[in-house]
Amino acid sequence: MLDIKFIRENKDLIDLAAKKKSIDFNVSELISADDKRRELTSSIEKKRAEQNAVSQKIVQAGTPEEKEGMLTSMKAVKESMQKEDAELQKVMKEWQGLMIRVPNIPDISVPDGKSDKENREIRNWGEIPKFDFTPLDHVVLMEKNDMVDFERGTKIAGFRGYVLKNDAVLLDMALWQYALEFFTKRGFSPMIVPSLVKREALVGTGYIPAGEDDIYKTQDDLYLAGTGEVAAMMYYYDEILDKKSLPRKFMAFSPCFRREIGSHGKDVKGIYRVHEFTKFEQLVLCEASHEQSVAFHEEITKNAEEFLQSLNIPYHVVVNCGGDLGQAQVKKYDIEAWTPSKNGYGETHSSSYFHDFQARRLNIRYKDDDGKMKFVHSLNNTASATPRFLIPVVENYQQADGTIKVPEVLKKYIGKDVLGKANV
């Protein structure tokens, strides 16, 4: 959410942000609703002040007739005020609905573009593996080694259902353990956060209203979050933090759920795009400084890159174009790991900063040195998401006999050097 004063003073900038992000939003409608809100609020406040003033005079009235005259005049004021208050409630509902749809302003460095096809590579790392055999995709490779069961997974959970088995479970949990160790060494405090969250948490982080169709809702008016970021940001909802404690860095772990409404026909085979997965998420809360936000954005992106480097997984980093940014994001990088079966890259990590967009909605503040209350800035980045991240690991480490080498850094968690059975 942006400040209404900023919106009124920068209407052209809001229009430009909506256009760049391909978001349907008319700032003039919001300004009109805000004008009505201000007008009605001012009128009600004046009538209330008049009512209070007359109440004092009534106490001092000299005659019953004088008192009755003032009561009669105040009855009309009260009726008018009640009518305006009812109208204000309607206007406030419209105003609030428009306010939570205002797009955040993308950074000037964000390139123009309509979709992820127009994201721009800014760097790459690693040597693309060259196989002296025909490599298998993760589906065939994992099924042959009895590491996954899609048929029974679908029987249990429907479309995009899956069951990880045997060595896939060892690999999955090894990645959890390694990610926990890797990122906590970089100063991130681990948290296991709820997946089941209140609506306020999703509104506050910017996933509602724009992404509501992609979120599972329970009969108790609770929602299943698609990332630990939602609960971790709600952790400090309506709190004032000590400036000396900033920045605060968290490593949030949770099961995640997404309906994938907008992805019918995309990645329907395998474990790349599923309804239920687990994720570690880097989260940073810092002072209200653009320079700090940019610095921490680069830091958390570097952390994720070094995680991939330690696993020797080739990747590239792209800066997302305006059309591939969410409503709340100022800037975003995607890190895409090399996937041999695609002969290309697939997204495994994303890294974003939001300025005070989320904190303003969630009312997370701190008191600056001059005593002024400010909203914190927030950032987040995928540390590790499985089962998706199993794909580049098993495909890049596959061997001619159908087995999968265990990455060196994971051997101590798995307890063996090879996954699967030769020539199965």
Does the pLDDT of residue 344 top 90, yes or no?
Answer: yes
Q: Residue with structure tokens 């992106």?
A: 301
Q: How many angstroms from the chain centroid is the CA of residue 7?
A: 22
Q: Of the listed 350, 351, 378, 384, which one is catalytic?
A: 350
Q: Which of 281-285, 356-360, 420-424 has the lowest mean pLDDT?
A: 420-424
pLDDT digit string, tens, across residues 35-65: 999 999 998 888 888 777 766 666 666 677 6
The amino acid that residue 145 corresponds to is N
| pTM for this model (two decimals) | 0.90
Q: Of the listed 50, 273, 310, 360, which one is catalytic?
A: 273
pLDDT digit string, tens, across residues 213-229: 899 999 888 999 999 99
Does the pLDDT of residue 402 top 60, yes or no?
Answer: yes
Sign of CA dihedral 144, 149, 155, 159: negative
Q: Which pLDDT does position 53 carry in this prediction? A: 72
CATH 1.10.287.40 fits 4-99, yes or no: yes
The proportion of the chain whose per-residue pLDDT surpasses 70, expressed as a percent, equals: 93
Average pLDDT over every residue of 315-342: 96
Q: Which pLDDT does position 47 carry in this prediction? A: 80
Pairwise pLDDT comparison (84 vs 205), residue with the higher score: 205
Name the DSSP class of 162: -
- The domains of the chain are located at 4-99, 116-419
347 tagged catalytic: yes
Does the pLDDT of residue 102 top 90, yes or no?
Answer: yes
pLDDT digit string, tens, across residues 297-323: 999 999 999 999 999 999 999 999 999
CATH architecture for the domain at 116-419 = 2-Layer Sandwich (3.30)
Measured CA to CA, the distance from residue 420 to residue 267 in angstroms comes to 24
Q: How many angstroms from the chain centroid is the CA of residue 24?
A: 20
CA atoms within 13 A on the CB side of 214: 20
Q: Could you give the C-alpha distances from 178 to 156, 256, 315, 347, in angstroms and in order?
A: 30, 19, 19, 20
Q: How many helices (H) and strands (E) does the chain have?
A: 13, 18
Does the pLDDT of residue 211 top 90, yes or no?
Answer: no
Average pLDDT over every residue of 2-25: 94
- Which of 140, 179, 149 lies closest to 394, judged by CA? 140
SS3 of residue 125 by DSSP: strand
Using alpha carbons only, give the angle 119, 178, 197 rounded to the nearest 5 degrees. 70
Q: Which pLDDT does position 422 carry in this prediction? A: 76
Confidence of residue 368 (pLDDT cuts 50, 70, 90): very high
pLDDT digit string, tens, across residues 261-273: 665 556 668 999 9
The proportion of the chain whose per-residue pLDDT surpasses 90, expressed as a percent, equals: 83
pLDDT digit string, tens, across residues 111-144: 999 999 999 999 999 999 999 999 999 999 999 9
Measured CA to CA, the distance from residue 349 to residue 334 in angstroms comes to 6
Q: Which pLDDT does position 351 carry in this prediction? A: 97
Measured CA to CA, the distance from residue 231 to residue 237 in angstroms comes to 10
Helix axes 27-59, 11-20, angle to 10 degrees: 140
48 tagged catalytic: no
Helix axes 290-310, 166-184, angle to 10 degrees: 140
365 tagged catalytic: no
Q: Residue with structure tokens 């329970």?
A: 218
Q: Which pLDDT does position 196 carry in this prediction? A: 97
Does the pLDDT of residue 281 top 80, yes or no?
Answer: yes
Q: What are phi and psi of 170, to 5 degrees?
A: -60, -45
273 tagged catalytic: yes
How big is the chain, counted in residues?
A: 424
42 tagged catalytic: no
Helix axes 27-59, 64-99, angle to 10 degrees: 160
Confidence of residue 255 (pLDDT cuts 50, 70, 90): very high
Confidence of residue 246 (pLDDT cuts 50, 70, 90): very high
Q: Of the listed 101, 160, 258, 361, which one is catalytic?
A: 258
- Which of 46, 54, 56 lies closest to 80, judged by CA? 46
Average pLDDT over the chain reads: 92
Measured CA to CA, the distance from residue 92 to residue 34 in angstroms comes to 9
Measured CA to CA, the distance from residue 71 to residue 82 in angstroms comes to 16
